[in-house]
Amino acid sequence: MPARRIIPCLDVRDGRVVKGVKFRDHRDVGDIVAHALRYRDEGADELVFYDITASAEGRGLDIGWIERIAEVIDIPFAVAGGIRSVDQAAACLEAGADKISINSPALERPELIGEIARAFGCQCVVLGVDSFADGAAYRVQQYTGSVAATRDSGRLTLDWVREATGRGAGEIVLNCMNNDGVRSGYDIAHTAAVIAAVTVPVIASGGAGAPAHFRAAFEAGASGALAATVFHDRILPIPDLKEYLASCGIEMRR
């Protein structure tokens, strides 16, 4: 497997970076461009920006902030939020994004995955999956950027990731909602089950709070590990985290 990736996640609302716990009670944590610059300088491998209310509000992304980010960083970044057509995906890529991440729009119309993959390549299509543990079952949730709009999609997570990768998704970001923001560790068992179910890279997301949590995700087979709180609040400096992971025998870009 190639070097593992450390990926800060930036939830965006009204052009500002915010962070919640279990997808609720978001707090403002700063300017979007300032965060992008800091993570570039600290050695993040990639970034992902989620406009968390776009899908629930039925609108597309603000291309303006994509352009501002692309002007100042030279590391890959993905964008997500309300991308419902090839034309909207093209606008984001032309503005400077490297990947398109789709979640609720793909659940609304799964054909969208293949349309974007055929237009720009599977490597450009990231499927975001907001997975909620409901007893023994993991179910995909939709419109999670709005508490009022959040609902069950009617799909089981493993069924959905198999279908989506079959349609052309080239990467999965697995957001384990029960663990989000609580810093108790990734849901390793669920992450490993998704990794076993697909043949594309899987990014672990939800629950990182300590270096050992990242190690556990990588040892389970994750291609990357996504986190927000520990990076936004400067709890885990990215250079120190990479040094720790390298000392554990995990290949990192440094």
Q: What is the pLDDT of residues 40-71, one digit of tens each?
A: 999 999 999 988 777 667 777 888 889 999 99
Which one of 51, 130, 180, 187 is the catalytic residue? 130
Active site residue 74: no
> What rounded mean pLDDT belongs to the chain?
91
Asked if pLDDT for residue 188 goes beyond 80, the answer is yes
The yes-or-no verdict on residue 82 having pLDDT over 90 is no
Q: What is the pLDDT of residues 189-248, one digit of tens each?
A: 999 999 999 999 999 999 999 999 999 999 999 999 999 889 988 999 999 999 999 999
* 14: annotated active-site residue: no
- CB of 116 within 8 A of CB of 136? no
Which is the catalytic residue, given 11, 45, 51, 187? 11
pLDDT at 111 over 60: yes
| pLDDT at residue 19 greater than cutoff 70 | no
**% of the chain exceeding 70 in pLDDT:** 93
Give the separation between CA 48 and CA 69, rounded to whole angstroms: 11
User: What value does the mean pLDDT take over residues 68-92?
Assistant: 94
Q: Tell me which of 126 and 179 has the higher pLDDT.
A: 126
The pLDDT score that the predictor gives to residue 247 is 97
Phi, psi at residue 130, to the nearest 5°? Answer: -95, 105
Do the beta carbons of residue 77 and residue 97 sit within 8 Å? yes
pLDDT at 58: 72
Q: What is the DSSP letter of 4?
A: B
Residue 232: its pLDDT value, please? Answer: 86
C-alpha closest to that of 174 among 185, 155, 190, 163: 190
pLDDT reading at 24 higher than 70:
no
Cβ neighbours of residue 247 closer than 8 Å, sequence gap 6 or more: none
DSSP 8-state code for residue 11 = E
Q: What is the mean pLDDT of residues 145-174?
A: 93
Average pLDDT over every residue of 101-107: 94
Residue 134 — very low, low, confident or very high, per pLDDT cuts 50/70/90? Answer: confident
Is residue 25 pLDDT above 60, yes or no? Answer: no
What confidence tier does 20 reach under pLDDT thresholds 50, 70, 90? low
Percent of the chain with pLDDT over 90: 72
